[in-house]
């Protein structure tokens, strides 16, 4: 599948998730077959202010390319200027504009999903980025802001008109956050409305069968998996195999999950340092061990454990209960 000039290996993508889709998790998902992994959202203002922590979020490993970095902001001038800056980042292949984040602090600033309430401004932001970027530009939107403002089809058309190379649609409103069910009908309508660019469907893909159903039901060009990949990077390998053969590969067993958690921990500590890496790994381990024997007991241990060696020992202890000595 192509997005502008960028060729993706397949049409099963990893969604941008704040605090989750850092370089380490993106690499793991790409190794599992993910066709394109989007970064967590990066502040355009932060880049313009030369914020050190923001600039670190722009790091892309060669193992994850082609890569997509997601920007958020509502000022067309700043967004356009930052697109120019990112032209010099040769490891970044695609720029994505966040117009779907429901977080209150983002919406309060008129960014993320708040832009759906001002389609004219949204169009100017997209145009500014696309006009100044040497890379293809994609836009991630939601069904609408709330039930009184359902305008995903309009927003998709605006994105295409102003230079977007693809649109991703999450079939929930901002008001829903991640509750209820995603509306796949609106994804189908947006796909029909776009003339020349791909539509990527997002929402409620938790197993391979869901991806197949969304592709068939909406006729979207690609699917994007978010929460379904948390603690479960195998979903990409299993989904691709299912789409290709109709066969469901077995889910990973306890030891495979714990082995991956250990590797993820080691990589994250190597990338972010011991203190931050271990703290951020707590949520990932919680997802890896969900549903495993003694998971409630070990979740408490994980959340109260500091230090790489100590956290590795907790995972080792779980593995020993599964009769695999570390």
Q: What is the CATH number of the domain that holds 14?
A: 3.20.20.70
In order along its 326 residues, the chain shows pLDDT tens digits of 999 999 999 999 999 999 999 999 999 999 999 999 999 999 999 999 999 999 999 999 999 999 999 999 999 999 999 999 999 999 999 999 999 999 999 999 999 999 999 999 999 999 999 999 999 999 999 999 999 999 999 999 999 999 999 999 999 999 999 999 999 999 999 999 999 999 999 999 999 999 999 999 999 999 999 999 999 999 999 999 999 999 999 999 999 999 999 999 999 999 999 999 999 999 999 999 999 998 999 999 999 999 999 999 999 999 887 656 56
Residues 136 and 43 in one domain: yes
The pLDDT score that the predictor gives to residue 77 is: 98
Within a domain: 326: no
Provide the CA 24 distance to its chain's centre, in angstroms.
13
The pLDDT score that the predictor gives to residue 320 is: 85
Annotated catalytic residue, options 8, 101, 220, 326 = 101
The pLDDT score that the predictor gives to residue 190 is: 98
Residues 200 and 301 in one domain: no
Residues 285 and 213 in one domain: no
Within a domain: 309: yes
| Owning domain of residue 71 | 2-245
Within a domain: 120: yes
Last residue of a domain, one of 219, 245, 271: 245
Residues 230 and 261 in one domain: no
The pLDDT score that the predictor gives to residue 325 is: 58
Last residue of a domain, one of 190, 210, 245: 245
Within a domain: 27: yes
Residues 118 and 259 in one domain: no
Residues 147 and 294 in one domain: no
Cis status, amide bond into 153, omega within 30 of 0 = no
Residues 239 and 294 in one domain: no
Contact (Cβ atoms closer than 8 angstroms) between residue 94 and residue 3? yes
* CATH number of domain containing 313: 1.10.1200
Contact (Cβ atoms closer than 8 angstroms) between residue 203 and residue 178? no
Residues 238 and 264 in one domain: no
State how far the alpha carbon of 146 is from the alpha carbons of 101, 108, 173, in Å. Answer: 13, 15, 5
Residues 233 and 274 in one domain: no
Provide the CA 303 distance to its chain's centre, in angstroms.
24
Last residue of a domain, one of 218, 245, 272: 245
The pLDDT score that the predictor gives to residue 303 is: 96
The pLDDT score that the predictor gives to residue 321 is: 74
Q: 3-state DSSP call for residue 79?
A: helix
Residues 73 and 148 in one domain: yes
The total of structural domains in the chain comes to: 2
How far is residue 313's CA from residue 315's CA, in Å, rounded to a whole number?
A: 5
Please name which of 296, 301, 323 lies closest in space to residue 312, comparing C-alpha atoms.
301
State how far the alpha carbon of 129 is from the alpha carbons of 124, 140, 186, in Å. Answer: 9, 14, 26
Residue 184 main-chain phi, psi, to 5 deg: -80, -20
The pLDDT score that the predictor gives to residue 140 is: 98
The pLDDT score that the predictor gives to residue 326 is: 66
Active site residue 220: no
Within a domain: 108: yes
Residues 176 and 296 in one domain: no
């Amino acid at each position: 599948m192509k997005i502008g000039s960028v060729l993706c290996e397949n049409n099963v993508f990893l969604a941008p998730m704040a605090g989750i889709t850092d370089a380490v998790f993106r690499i793991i998902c790409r190794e599992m077959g993910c066709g394109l992994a989007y970064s967590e959202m990066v502040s355009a203002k932060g880049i313009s202010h030369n914020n050190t922590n923001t600039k670190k979020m722009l790091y892309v490993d060669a193992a994850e390319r082609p890569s997509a970095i997601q920007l958020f902001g509502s000022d067309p001038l700043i967004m356009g200027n930052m697109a120019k800056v990112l032209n010099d980042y040769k490891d970044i292949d695609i720029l994505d504009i966040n117009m779907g984040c429901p977080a209150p602090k983002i919406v309060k600033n008129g960014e993320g999903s708040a832009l759906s309430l001002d389609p004219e401004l949204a169009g100017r932001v997209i145009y500014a980025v696309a006009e100044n970027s040497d890379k293809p530009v994609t836009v991630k939107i939601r069904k609408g802001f709330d039930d009184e403002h359902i305008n995903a089809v309009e927003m998709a058309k605006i994105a295409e008109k102003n230079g977007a190379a693809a649109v991703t649609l999450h079939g929930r409103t901002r008001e829903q956050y991640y509750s209820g069910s995603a509306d796949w009908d609106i994804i189908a309508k947006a796909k029909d409305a776009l003339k020349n660019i791909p539509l990527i469907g997002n929402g409620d893909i938790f197993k391979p069968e869901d991806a197949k159903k969304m592709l068939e039901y909406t006729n979207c060009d690609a699917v994007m998996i978010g929460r379904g990949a948390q603690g479960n990077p195998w979903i990409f390998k299993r989904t691709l195999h299912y789409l290709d053969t109709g066969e469901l590969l077995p889910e990973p067993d306890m030891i495979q999950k714990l082995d991956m958690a250990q590797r993820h921990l080691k990589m994250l500590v190597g990338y972010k340092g011991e203190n931050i890496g271990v703290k951020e790994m707590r949520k990932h381990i919680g997802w890896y061990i969900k549903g495993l024997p003694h998971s409630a007991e070990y979740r408490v241990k994980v959340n109260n454990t500091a230090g790489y060696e100590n956290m590795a020992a907790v995972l080792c202890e779980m593995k020993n209960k599964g009769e695999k000595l570390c």
